[in-house]
Amino acid sequence: MAFDYDKYIRPGKLPHIWCPGCGHGIVMKGLIRAMDSLNLKKEETAIVSGIGCASRLPGYLDCCTLHTAHGRAAAFATGVKMAKPEMNVILVGGDGDGTAIGGNHFIHACRRNINMTYIIMNNYIYGMTGGQFSPCTPTGAKASTTPYGNPDPGFDIAKLAIGAGASFVARGTAYHAAQIDKLIAEAIQHKGFSVVEILDDCPTTYGRRNKYRSVVEMMNRLKEVAVPVKAAEKMTAEQLEGKILTGVLHKVEKPEYCEEYAKVLQRAQAAK
Amino acid sequence: MAKKVAFLQGNEAAAHGALYAGCRFFAGYPITPSTEVAEVMSAELPKVGGKFIQMEDEIGAMAALIGASLTGVKVLTSTSGPGLSLKQENIGYACITEVPSVIVNVMRGGPSTGMPTGPSQSDVMCAKWGTHGDHPAICLVPASVQEIFEETVRAFNLAEKYRTPVMIMPDEIVAHMRERIVFPEPGELEVVDRTAPSVPPEKYKPYDTSFGDVPPLAAFGSGYKFHVTGLNKMQDGFPTTKAEIVQAEEERQVRKVEANKADIMKWEEYLCDDAEVIVVAYGSTSRSARFAVNEARKNGIKAGLFRLITFWPFPEERLLELSKKVKGFITPEMNLGMCTGVVKGCIEGNAPVLGIFRVDGEPINPGQILDKMKEVK
Ligand SMILES: Cc1ncc(C[n+]2csc(CCOP(=O)(O)OP(=O)(O)O)c2C)c(N)n1
Ligand code: SF4
Ligand SMILES: [Mg+2]
């Protein structure tokens, strides 16, 4: 029997705003399958986003949904989670939202290791505003504000998250759709701040300018560059040149923020 | 039983007022001269099961505040000028999404880093016009430690009642001075909680105006699922660009405060009945003004004090009435004429408005106000 996405889709809110060929919808389906596999209760789940095409995702889900300001999802979500730790809190957003304007909130959510899951849809570009370069746009690539090629070096989101203290970091791609739900489900189950980067595509503003003739070509690129971490262990440095690791990249046990704050309450009340 | 009395600093009183009002969440970022509010909250909140978080910056603090408020708790943040500038982004978000929140902003010299330890009253315009777009504004300007406590309680009540951010703006002098304060007993001051929905979850709309201009607000995690966005929204919370809906919703948001001015506005008239010259003042400046008025009366000058307790909404109608029978107004303030401009704007040219402006980090003293009175002919 085909999977029933309607269970988590908000009645009457489709069609979505995304362009044909946009990878964000693939990620949303993966998230829904993950939520379903864990049987997350919709009224006990908050989906929080910033601003951008990716950040429109919460509106389509039948949960407690919070579409905030550009880059601020992690900070809003921290407030929700701190105030109500029993809620499942899932953040979604784009590469620009999370790593440029929201970079500070992102690294501090990682550092606190607060029990939330952050799904970053990395299409290498500011899609919503028409294709300006983001901190994840590859050097040399064309964007509407890099007509002569992008001079900026890009961020490695996974390394950034690990360096900042996230206790679970995974990466998948929109091409490997069947893996997305598994990565997200594992991230949600992990206690601590978990980051799932999904490489996807923006055919409308990135593909067009960077000589991808079709969405299929963009998807094929994802297929070609992705190497599962397990497979990479057996590969040489030359073989790994230009490749991107996928799967669970980092998973450690660390004190979780809300649990640590619960201890603060205990100490304060004992001292009273 | 005798009431609890203490010798408290203004900032400490703000924190205790918040706790009295039932505040259970604080998010902030340290900044002089407001930090004591955060310090007291970090110590007191965990004792009563509340949460305190020091965020990475003021943008994040205001964001966390709104997130927490959406789970149904009463929330407070505190800051000062540079932090207020950063909070403006999400103050606008709280306005359009109609999420109750209380912001203490202790006024220090500006713009920018300005004079971190010097008093000022130059953020009063920022309270109304700091965030972009049309939006409601409530700003309280207490003048004593006791009043900071009481007005903080009222700030929470207004935030909850009207589903909007409320600012309390003591100047640095009021925030840092120490005075005797008598703690109200529990139940002595009114404490208002936001209206929870009366309809079942499947019928709930976060902006359902069939319940009036201030629709009930459900809490995340209480069985209600709903959408919150900073985009212009419809009654069900989802974005719209439909002209007539956007117009109506924008007007309603502002009307929530404008139509309830009588409930929100507060001021004190001291010796204004027969006054020929009225000093319009607020915060610590109003204390110098009261002294000056008393001195003037001793010298046979019919002076009065009109002390603002809410700066926004501004008591325009009352000042217009008074302007018809006075020879002039004096508006001392620690900025270059912010209140002065507002007074001029509402009295239809009925009387001269003479400002006294200081931005040098020094308070306005009674002598300056007395001297100015002599210019009113
Ligand atoms: C404070 C602020 N600055 C700029 C913008 C304009 N803006 C909207 S979306 C966006 C970029 C979004 O890019 P990304 O997060 O990568 O999402 P995508 O659209 O690519 O999915 C920008 C710059 C804004 N909404 N708010
Ligand atoms: S502009 Fe790009 S990111 Fe936005 S919906 Fe279209 S394809 Fe997706
Ligand atoms: Mg993007």
Is-contact B3 B138, C-beta < 8 A?
Answer: no
DSSP alpha helix (H) spans, chain A: 24-37, 73-83, 95-96, 103-112, 157-164, 177-189, 215-225, 229-232, 237-240, 257-271
Question: Using CA atoms, how far apart are residues B245 and B232, in angstroms rounded to an integer?
Answer: 9
Write down the mean pLDDT value for chain B. Answer: 97
pLDDT at B2 over 90: no
The CATH H-level (homologous superfamily) assignment of domain B5-182 is: Thiamin diphosphate (ThDP)-binding fold, Pyr/PP domains (3.40.50.970)
End-to-end CA distance of chain B: give it in Å, rounded.
53
Beta carbon of A123 within 6 Å of any ligand 1 atom: yes
Mean pLDDT of the residues in chain A: 97
Nearest-Cα distance to chain B for A177, in Å, is 27
Task: Note whether B25 contacts A82, CB cutoff 8 Å.
Answer: yes
Fold of B267-373: Rossmann fold (3.40.50)
Residue type, B63: A
Nearest CA owner, ligand 2 atom 8: A22
Residue A52 CA: which ligand 2 atom is closest? 4
- CA A119 to each of CA A6, A168, A183, B218: distance values in angstroms, whole numbers, following the listed order: 21, 12, 10, 26
Of ligand 1's atoms, which has the minimum distance to the CA of residue A126? 13
Condensed to tens digits (0 to 9), the pLDDT of residues A170-211 reads 999 999 999 999 999 999 999 999 999 999 999 999 999 999
B63 at interface of A, judged by CB pairs closer than 8 A: yes
Q: Are B91 and B102 in contact (CB under 8 A)?
A: no
Sorted by where each begins, the domain ranges of chain B are: 5-182, 201-262, 267-373
Q: For the purposes of burial, counting CB atoms within 10 Å of the CB of A92, is it exposed (0-12), middle (13-18) or buried (19 or more)?
A: buried
What is the structure's pLDDT at B105? 98
| pLDDT attached to residue B318 | 98
Q: Answer whether residue A16 shows pLDDT above 90.
A: yes
- Which amino acid, A259? E
- Residue B312 pLDDT more than 90? yes
Q: Does the structure's ipTM exceed the value 0.95?
A: yes
Whether chain A has a CB inside 8 Å of the CB on B276: the answer is no
**B60: closest chain A residue by CA:** A75
Query: What pLDDT is attached to residue B1?
Result: 62
- For residue A47, what is the enclosing H or E element? strand A45-49
- Asked whether A203 lines ligand 2 (CB < 6 A), one says yes
Q: Whose CA is nearest to atom 6 of ligand 2?
A: A19
HSE-CB at B170 with a 13 A cutoff on CA atoms is: 33
pLDDT of residue A271: 85
Taking the C-alpha atoms of residue B134 and residue A223, their distance in angstroms, rounded to an integer, is 48
**Which atom of ligand 1 is closest in space to residue A123's alpha carbon?**
20
pLDDT interval class at B3 (50, 70, 90):
confident
| B227 touches A at CB < 8 Å | yes
- Measure in Å the smallest separation between the Cα of B211 and chain A Cα atoms: 22
Domains B5-182 and B267-373 share a fold: yes
Determine the average pLDDT of the residues in A103-111.
98
Give the helix/strand (H/E) hosting B278: strand B277-281
What's the pLDDT score for residue B164?
98
Tokens of A216: 């299929």
Determine the distance in angstroms separating the CA of A33 from the nearest CA of chain B, rounded to an integer.
19
A70 lines ligand 1 (CB under 6 A): yes
Chain A residue numbers with beta carbons less than 8 Å from the beta carbon of B24 are 83
Q: Which domains are assigned to chain A?
A: 5-271 (3.40.50.970)
B54-80: pLDDT as tens digits: 999 999 999 999 999 999 999 999 999
With an 8 Å Cβ cutoff, is B43 touching chain A?
Answer: yes
Determine which residue's CA is closest to atom 3 belonging to ligand 1: A70
Q: How is residue B266 written in tokens?
A: 């507060």
B221 vs A67, A77, A86: nearest CB: A86
Separation of alpha carbons A19 and A6, rounded Å: 21
Asked if B228 contacts B237 with a C-beta cutoff of 8 angstroms, the reply is yes
